[in-house]
Structure 1
């Protein structure tokens, strides 16, 4: 299926690289804004004050970043969903701004108090209106960055699709329970055997098909894909996970009543207690 060595390396370090990229982006923005603010207020405030203003804002934005990422995953901005989800993001920008402004004002008051001074935000609502105009821009810059990043990931790792029924003639294989999936990657198309899928994991409006260390997103719901998986091979083990029994190596019971599944490639998959008994029976283990 053609792999990209550079992207495979990136995938192994993806999480720390993503975190590092966000930290670098926010730090550079804070430094730039601090220098500009220092120039604008030269001679009118202490040299350290503009740095406190900008870094207090940046730290709160960083703290809110995971929430924005979660909201964008829940209501993604895509060609088929942006009209429906855009108003939800506009609404989400309001609590985002309230938390940002409240948090940065609290930090500034703390720093000023430690330095023996007093920070005044001024009249709340007029000043909040001004801050909200900046915050809604920041919110959608973050969302836009997430959208562009997702498009890049899909192009690099490939996006899976169900085989469609032909316009003429009978399908070459069952459409209701496909034996293969179509994967589009870097402008090319490949066929992926369903038997090669080691496990599936829900991710927003997608289900990731995990194959040999790679994830291929399929635009589907867990309920929808469950009907199209071979029940002799695939078993649901969690509200967001299915596993292929051919790749399951071990079931590790937990004190909570849940279990941890060890896959043949070393990956660990959660198993809820409601699915554990049925899985052990299918896997050939007795309680």
Structure 2
């Protein structure tokens, strides 16, 4: 299978994590600057209710804490994705999670402001006389921020899946017999950038469970398939594919070496040089089927 695209996904994968971290840092930095300018204009320039440095302390402390909480929002979005089939149930979970998000945000924000006020202004920071009302005000802002993050993360994932290519099983035709066994597919359909491609099941080098997806690794690319590992294992050729870990299936045709570890587990080396884990539970079964593949010491 060959594909051509102006977007180099492999190169993007190398820089994906710095890009994602840098994106949120830049977004929160820009947000801090703009909010700081607006707050400074309102409470310092127009009403003279605060020192010039105070709005910047408020906005910077808030942004630093939100940036620290962002990984937890990312994990929550993976664990409870807002999709068409799950949004009713998972929406309730995210509404509930927005409460501790706000409480932690406000609590750590206050701590940072207390430290900044003491070090810079030699004052004691005062959050407000009516804590409950002030916390409610902060929650209205934080729940908006929380769901804005969820929307941004979800949109980004959809974009990446579209650029990367998403696999699916070939469906049984509406009329006539299927061209191949549906219960044990010989090919998978991959949609990418508005085009469709077929990949042969025998070309899949290994499979990895990832949340609600199973990633099919083919020639240096990962194609996510919406399925469970147990479900897809039943539909693959058992003489070619073998489970080596609760999260991994490997194609024996692409397995080069198995290296036993002191823990009882093993390290697998694929033909392309990639290394995969093999748990002790599956190590014995794999050795029995290893055939002529060289085994490490």
Query: Which of 204, 220, 234 matches 1:213?
Result: 220
Question: Partner of 1:51 in structure 2?
Answer: 56
Q: For 1:275 and 1:108, locate their aligned partners in 2 and report how far apart those are by CA, in whole Å.
A: 53
Question: Partner of 2:153 in structure 1?
Answer: 146
The aligned runs of 1:82-231 (5 Å cut-off) are 82-115=87-120, 116-122=122-128, 123-231=130-238
Query: Which of 29, 32, 57 matches 2:31?
Result: 29
Shift of 1:197: 1.1
Q: For 2:262 and 2:87, locate their aligned partners in 1 and report how far apart those are by CA, in whole Å.
A: 43
Question: Partner of 1:282 in structure 2?
Answer: 289
What is the RMSD computed on CA atoms of the aligned residues?
Answer: 1.8
Q: For 2:108 and 2:287, locate their aligned partners in 1 and report how far apart those are by CA, in whole Å.
A: 49
Shift of 1:282: 2.4
Question: Partner of 1:257 in structure 2?
Answer: 264
Q: The residue matched to 2:22 in structure 1 has which SS? A: helix
Q: For 2:196 and 2:98, locate their aligned partners in 1 and report how far apart those are by CA, in whole Å.
A: 39
The alignment's TM-score, normalised by the length of structure 1, stands at 0.93
The alignment's TM-score, normalised by the length of structure 2, stands at 0.90
CA contact (8 A) 2:257 2:296 kept: no
Greater displacement, 117-126 / 192-201: 117-126
Question: Partner of 1:3 in structure 2?
Answer: 4
1:118-173: per-residue Cα shift (whole Å, max 9, x none)?
A: 11212322111111110111111111011111121122111111111122222111
1:206-264: per-residue Cα shift (whole Å, max 9, x none)?
A: 11111112111111111211111212121222222212222222223333333332222
CA contact (8 A) 1:56 1:108 kept: yes
The structure-2 alpha-carbon separation of the partners of 1:280 and 1:35, relative to structure 1 and needing over 3 Å to count, comes to farther
Give the greater-gyration-radius structure (CA): 2
Q: The residue matched to 1:283 in structure 2 has which SS? A: coil
Q: The residue matched to 2:207 in structure 1 has which SS? A: strand
CA contact (8 A) 1:206 1:220 kept: yes
Q: For 1:110 and 1:160, locate their aligned partners in 2 and report how far apart those are by CA, in whole Å.
A: 51
The structure-2 alpha-carbon separation of the partners of 1:252 and 1:37, relative to structure 1 and needing over 3 Å to count, comes to farther
Question: Partner of 2:279 in structure 1?
Answer: 272
CA contact (8 A) 1:53 1:108 kept: yes
1:31-65: per-residue Cα shift (whole Å, max 9, x none)?
A: 11112111112132222221111111111111111
**Structure 1: gaps of 5 or more residues:** none
**Structure 2: gaps of 5 or more residues:** none
Q: What count of residue pairs does the alignment treat as equivalent?
A: 287
